[in-house]
C-alpha cells in the first residue's frame, strides 16, 4: 500500500464510479416528484381528518390511490438515494456500511408497506 | 514514496472558519429537510396501514397524527416538503447550467424560504 502514489489511490473514487448514474436518477425522481408532491399533498391532506369509512372510500378511488402508490415508490427511492449521499458524506468504515444497508432496507420496506396497504384498501 | 509526511500536512480549512452565508445555509437546509421528511413519510405509511387494517387501528393512528403534536409534526413536515421541493427546483435549474453565480443563488434562496412559508400557509388554509 505504501508504494501507491496519491493519484493512484484517488483514481476510481467518488463520482468516477457510479456518481453520474446516481445523480441522473436523482434528477429523474426529483422531476417526477415535482408533479406528484403537490397532487399528493392535496389528496392526502383532504383525506386526513376524515372518518374511517370516508377515508376508506376516498382511498378506494383510483386517482388518490394511484397517486399515493407513485408518491410512496418514487419518494422512498429518492430518499434512498439522498440518504445514501448523507451517510457517505459523514460516516466511514463499518458504521457507513451498516447505516447504508439499514437505511436502504428501511426505504424499500416503508414503500412496500405503504403500497401493500393501498392495494389492500383498493381490493 | 508517496506516504512520506502523511497525516502531518496542513489541511485545507473546513466549515468552522467560514461565516454563515445564504448559499451554504440554504444548501444545508435542503439536506436537513430532505432527510427529516422520513419522519412525516413514515407517519403517512402508518396512517395508510392503519386504514387498511381496520377501524380500531385507524382510530389509534388517526388520534396520534391529528393530535396537537401530530399536527405540529405534519405542519413542520409540510414546510420541510415545500422548502425541499423549491430547493430541488433550484438544483434542476443549476443542473441545466443557469443561475450559477452567487448573487442569483442567494436571491433564489430568499425566494425558496418565502415560497415555502407561503405554500405551507396556503396548504394549511386550503386543505
Cα–Cα dist A18/A12, whole Å: 10
Task: Mutate one of A28, A46, A114, A118 to test the B interface: name it (highest B CB count within 10 A).
Answer: A114
Q: Which residues of chain B make contact with A34, given a CB cutoff of 8 A?
A: 85, 88-89, 92
Nearest Cβ partner for A5 among B2, B53, B126:
B2
- What is the number of domains present in chain B? 1
CA distance B59 to B66: 10
C-alpha cell recorded at residue B10: 496542513
For residue B11, being part of any structural domain is answered with no
Alpha carbon distance B26, B31 (integer Å): 9
Provide the residue-wise pLDDT of chain B in tens; the chain has 127 residues.
455 556 666 767 776 777 888 888 999 999 999 999 999 999 999 999 999 999 999 999 999 999 999 999 999 999 999 999 999 999 999 999 999 999 999 999 999 999 999 999 999 998 8
- The whole domain housing B102 covers 21-126
Q: Is A50 helix (H, G, I), strand (E, B) or coil?
A: coil
| Contact residues for A64 (Cβ-Cβ < 8 A; gap 6+) | A43, A44, A47, A58
Any domain includes B5: no
Q: Which residues of B touch A30 (CB under 8 A)?
A: 88, 91-92
* pLDDT tens, residue by residue, A64-90: 999 999 999 999 999 999 999 999 888
CATH at B64: 1.20.1300.10
Reported pTM:
0.87
In chain B, where do the E strands start and end? none
- The CATH code for residues A19-122 is 1.20.1300
Chain A residues in contact with B47 by the CB 8 A cut-off are 48
Amino acid at each position: 500500500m505504501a508504494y501507491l502514489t496519491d493519484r493512484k489511490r484517488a483514481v476510481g473514487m467518488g463520482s468516477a464510479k457510479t456518481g453520474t448514474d446516481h445523480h441522473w436518477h436523482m434528477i429523474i425522481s426529483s422531476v417526477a416528484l415535482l408533479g406528484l408532491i403537490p397532487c399528493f399533498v392535496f389528496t392526502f391532506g383532504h383525506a386526513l381528518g376524515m372518518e374511517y369509512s370516508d377515508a376508506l372510500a376516498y382511498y378506494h378511488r383510483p386517482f388518490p390511490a394511484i397517486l399515493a402508490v407513485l408518491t410512496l415508490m418514487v419518494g422512498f427511492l429518492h430518499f434512498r438515494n439522498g440518504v445514501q449521499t448523507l451517510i457517505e458524506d459523514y460516516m466511514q468504515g463499518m458504521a457507513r456500511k451498516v447505516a447504508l444497508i439499514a437505511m436502504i432496507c428501511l426505504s424499500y420496506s416503508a414503500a412496500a408497506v405503504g403500497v401493500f396497504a393501498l392495494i389492500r384498501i383498493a381490493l | 514514496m508517496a506516504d512520506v509526511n502523511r497525516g502531518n500536512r496542513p489541511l485545507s480549512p473546513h466549515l468552522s472558519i467560514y461565516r454563515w452565508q445564504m448559499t451554504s445555509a440554504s444548501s444545508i437546509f435542503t439536506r436537513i429537510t430532505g432527510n427529516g421528511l422520513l419522519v412525516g413519510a413514515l407517519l403517512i405509511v402508518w396512517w395508510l396501514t392503519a386504514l387498511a387494517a381496520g377501524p380500531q387501528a385507524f382510530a389509534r393512528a388517526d388520534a396520534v397524527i391529528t393530535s396537537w403534536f401530530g399536527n405540529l409534526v405534519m405542519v413542520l413536515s409540510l414546510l420541510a416538503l415545500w422548502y425541499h421541493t423549491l430547493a430541488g427546483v433550484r438544483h434542476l435549474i443549476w443542473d441545466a447550467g443557469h443561475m450559477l453565480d452567487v448573487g442569483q443563488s442567494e436571491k433564489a434562496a430568499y425566494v425558496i424560504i418565502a415560497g415555502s412559508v407561503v405554500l405551507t400557509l396556503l396548504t394549511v388554509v386550503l386543505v
